[in-house]
Structure 1
Amino acid sequence: MTAPARLPVEGPLPALDGATAWLNSAPLTPAGLRGTVAVVQFCTFSCINWLRTVPYVRAWAEKYRDDGVTVIGVHSPEFPFEHDEQEVRSALEGMGIRYPVAIDDDFAIWRAFDNAYWPALYFVDVEGRVRHHHFGEEDYERSERVIQHLLRESGVGDVDEGLVSVTPDGVHLAADWADLRTPETYTGYARATGFAGPGGLRLDRRSVYVAAERLRRNDWALVGDWTVRARATTLDEPGGRIVHRFHGRDLNLVLAPGAEGPVRFRVRIDGGLPDDARGLDVDEQGEGSVVRPRLYQLVRQRQPIADRTVEITFADAGVEAYVFTFG
């Protein structure tokens, strides 16, 4: 796949001056970026869709840096804990992200771009014009060809026309799209779907939930003493469970620890130990701990992929559950 012979002009690079902070760089501006090819990506650190793009964008930043390409991350937070600059800094450092990142806590840059997606890529030429964009994952070859096209257009000679060699693993591994049949599932009532527990969700009040008699594919339920709020669901007493019937290779859950510190959990799949279907954040006994707010990979099935029921039991109170994602 190659970039088109000509790329349309989509408009000028919007202002970047709404950032509340910058990581890895002094504040950048459209005027200061003139003369360089820029790649701007919107992200939020617990988003699985963005996490799966990280190896590619990081590799582009390294490969084309000496050719005059500036990769810029714009961190626009989805969840409350993603407003914590230290958590953002720690998460990005852990992924080896060394290119400039604008902290967009107030969504000022998001609005300036009229953006609506995590992740979203915008490709900017040396004259400060947006020439291409891509929303979501994948399309990596075309995106890199666009970078090469803009470099050649700017007069850079001997642009390496090869593609970066990337071997993603862990949470960065691309989804098994052909066998993925469960959509992301929010536990906060503002976006919750698929709840199948008796009596439904009780909003903004502490309630005791009992086990559902039966879960169909893509159903989920709570067991124990929980408070369901708009953005997240919080466990009020130790021993609570979340159960989900899903179809996909991976099951992830965005979690945050309680005010009292780390929260221990245990994972069971179809009632037994996860064994070789355990995710990165689960040990041989199906146990793990929520230490920091982030995405936790709880299940990674081997082929063949089948409908499975995962049950996560929390030994400590205070955990906040945000969204299930799948791969």
Structure 2
Amino acid sequence: MTTDRSQAEPGSPWRRRWLKVGGVILALAGLGLAGHLLARDDLGPMPSLAGAQAWINSPPLDAPALKGKVVLVDFWTWDCINCKRSMPYVNQWAKRYADQGLVVVGVHTPEYDYEHDVGNLRQKVRSLDIGYPVAVDNDYRIWNAWGNQFWPAHYFVDRKGQVRHVHFGEGDYAGQEQVIRELLAEPST
């Protein structure tokens, strides 16, 4: 697995791949279909989780720490209505599948200035009963490394560290849970 930030550099294969995907997403968004993405393909290695201002519920995580696990990276922000609606599902998956090898990593990337307050975020994490690791991405370092553009955004990573599925926005929770089950059923070698 690569944790090299150059993946998101202009002209990198990762960046070009996501720019193409972004064009498709924008076209589908116009049709109201953006949430029903992407095909279960190998979308490249998991980008870095480095650069968080702080971590809640965990020490800093990186690719080696997550090796052999199925990972759901959830980009969210606490005052986003769409994030509030998807959060119960993410919480439920984190609890339901933890013993089978799922690790949910929340990446809190604030949309509004008042969402940058880490104390308020810690309080929100407690009140939302979030027990999984949350990276405080106030400087958008993780957001940029992943080339993300949406709240919520769910990136599903297999045990080998490859991004295999992405879902932007609300909805298709049964489909997303099926992706989790399929990835957990795959061998780690």
Provide the C-alpha distance between the structure 2 equivalents of 1:75 and 1:154, rounded to a whole number of angstroms: 30
Equivalent of 2:69 in 33, 36, 61: 36
2:159 is aligned to 126
Provide the C-alpha distance between the structure 1 equivalents of 2:49 and 2:95, rounded to a whole number of angstroms: 22
2:45 is aligned to 12
Question: Any gaps of 5 or more consecutive residues in structure 1?
Answer: 1-5, 156-327
- Counterpart residue identity of residue 153, structure 1: E
Q: C-alpha displacement at 1:77, in angstroms?
A: 0.5
2:15 is aligned to none
- Counterpart residue identity of residue 44, structure 1: T
- Are residues 1:148 and 2:173 paired? no
Equivalent of 1:112 in 145, 151, 157: 145
Provide the C-alpha distance between the structure 2 equivalents of 1:117 and 1:67, rounded to a whole number of angstroms: 28
SS at match of 2:130: coil
TM-score by length of 1: 0.45
Equivalent of 1:139 in 168, 172, 185: 172
- Are residues 1:94 and 2:127 paired? yes
Q: How does 1:19-58 map to 2 (within 5 A)?
A: 19-58=52-91
Provide the C-alpha distance between the structure 2 equivalents of 1:79 and 1:7, rounded to a whole number of angstroms: 33
What is the number of residues matched between the two proteins? 150
- Are residues 1:80 and 2:104 paired? no
Q: CA RMSD in A?
A: 1.1
Q: How does 1:121-200 map to 2 (within 5 A)?
A: 121-154=154-187
2:92 is aligned to 59
Q: C-alpha displacement at 1:142, in angstroms?
A: 0.6
SS at match of 2:103: strand
Question: Any gaps of 5 or more consecutive residues in structure 2?
Answer: 1-38
Instruction: List per-residue Cα deviations over 1:121-176 (Å, max 9, x = no partner).
Output: 00000000000000000010110000000011126xxxxxxxxxxxxxxxxxxxxx
Which structure is higher in RCO with an 8 Å CA cutoff and minimum separation 6?
Answer: 2
Q: C-alpha displacement at 1:7, in angstroms?
A: 2.9
SS at match of 2:142: helix
2:8 is aligned to none
Provide the C-alpha distance between the structure 2 equivalents of 1:50 and 1:143, rounded to a whole number of angstroms: 15
1:282 is aligned to none
Provide the C-alpha distance between the structure 2 equivalents of 1:39 and 1:154, rounded to a whole number of angstroms: 17
Give the helix-richer structure, 1 or 2. 2
Provide the C-alpha distance between the structure 1 equivalents of 2:125 and 2:154, rounded to a whole number of angstroms: 18
Provide the C-alpha distance between the structure 2 equivalents of 1:127 and 1:32, rounded to a whole number of angstroms: 12
Give the strand-richer structure, 1 or 2. 1
Instruction: List per-residue Cα deviations over 1:35-86 (Å, max 9, x = no partner).
Output: 0000000001000000000110000000000001000100000111111000
Runs of 4+ aligned residues of structure 1 deviating over 2 Å after TM superposition are none
